Structure 1
Amino acid sequence: MGPAELLVLTFPQETITVEAASALCKLRTGGDIRVIDSLVVTRHPDGEASYGELADFEHLRGVVGGGGHAQVLPLIGPEDAQEAAGLLEPGTVALLVLIEHVWAQAAADALRGVGGRIASGVRIPPENIEEAVRVAKARAAAGK
């Protein structure tokens, strides 16, 4: 198995839309990553939080059903849901997605073959990369 990562994707409404669920289903079949598990966490307007599987939401059942969904492993638990709920404002929702970086599996296998392992990884948000590129370009333009 390649490296895995838990992502918390937040949305400014109280439910996951069909479009967001459809995008998740595309990830399941794209080949570069594999969705291992997912969970929806909702912070209701009264401040209470709840969580459930995508298939628990009637408007998403047709979107998330099928072969790809049956292979999902139940690894995201209540503790993860509680932690994500702490990030949410009332009236918003989060989609927790545990993904495997399938593209990195060959590298991980090669490392294990010689006694190594991927010990850690750091996810750098795109906006941080964009800022670093902007700064580097500004320095290059200034001749530094």
Structure 2
Amino acid sequence: MGPVEFLVLAFPGEQVGADVVTPLVALQRTGGVRVIDTLAVTKAADGSVRAAELSEFEHLKDLVAGGDPVNLMGEEDAAEAAELLEPGSSALLVLIEHVWATEVAEAFRGAGGRVAASVRIPPEHIDEAHRALANAS
């Protein structure tokens, strides 16, 4: 198995749209990732929180059809994600396996290796570093 990552993708508005889910489904179809589990979390304008499987949304159920639901994420995950949200916004919680890295991960494990650290660098930090280098020249 490749590395597994838990993501909380936050969006304005109280609904996760198909425009967000479609690229994720496409990436899974190409074999880059395997979506292990998903959960949609909405924080209404009044602060109330709702969590649901993507298949429960009429506008998304055809996109996520097929496969057996795993349901590894639950109320505790939804509550933690909701703390990150502003009222009137939503989040897509995604547990994905990076299939593209499976062979490398298996080689590391076979050699007795382990991941000693993993840091996700936001794209805007990379852009900022590029600008700083360009300005320094």
TM-score w.r.t. length of structure 2: 0.92
Q: Which one is further off, 122-131 or 112-121?
A: 112-121
Where structure 2 has 5 or more consecutive residues not aligned to the other structure, the ranges are none
Greater CA radius of gyration, 1 or 2?
1
Corresponding position: 1:61 with 2:58: no
Q: Report the AA paired with residue 91 of structure 1.
A: G
* Cα displacement string for residues 23-69 of structure 1 (whole angstroms, at most 9, x for unaligned residues): 22112212111111110000011111010100011222222213xxx
Is residue 13–residue 93 contact of structure 1 (8 Å, CA) maintained in 2?
yes
Name the structure where helix makes up a greater proportion of residues. 1
Matched residue SS, 1:58: coil
Matched residue SS, 2:62: helix
Q: Report the AA paired with residue 31 of structure 2.
A: G
CA distance in 2, matches of 1:26, 1:64: 11
CA distance in 2, matches of 1:28, 1:73: 16
CA distance in 1, matches of 2:2, 2:89: 32
After TM superposition, the structure 1 = structure 2 runs for residues 40-79 of structure 1, keeping only pairs within 5 Å, are 40-66=40-66, 70-71=67-68, 73-79=70-76
After TM superposition, the structure 1 = structure 2 runs for residues 1-144 of structure 1, keeping only pairs within 5 Å, are 1-66=1-66, 70-71=67-68, 73-139=70-136, 141=137
Is residue 28–residue 35 contact of structure 1 (8 Å, CA) maintained in 2?
yes
Is residue 27–residue 35 contact of structure 1 (8 Å, CA) maintained in 2?
no
CA distance in 2, matches of 1:30, 1:110: 23
Where structure 1 has 5 or more consecutive residues not aligned to the other structure, the ranges are none
Q: Which one is further off, 115-124 or 38-47?
A: 115-124
TM-score w.r.t. length of structure 1: 0.87
* Cα displacement string for residues 2-38 of structure 1 (whole angstroms, at most 9, x for unaligned residues): 1111111111111111222222211221211111111
* Runs of 4+ that moved beyond 6 A: none
Q: May I ask how many residue pairs the two structures share in their alignment?
A: 137
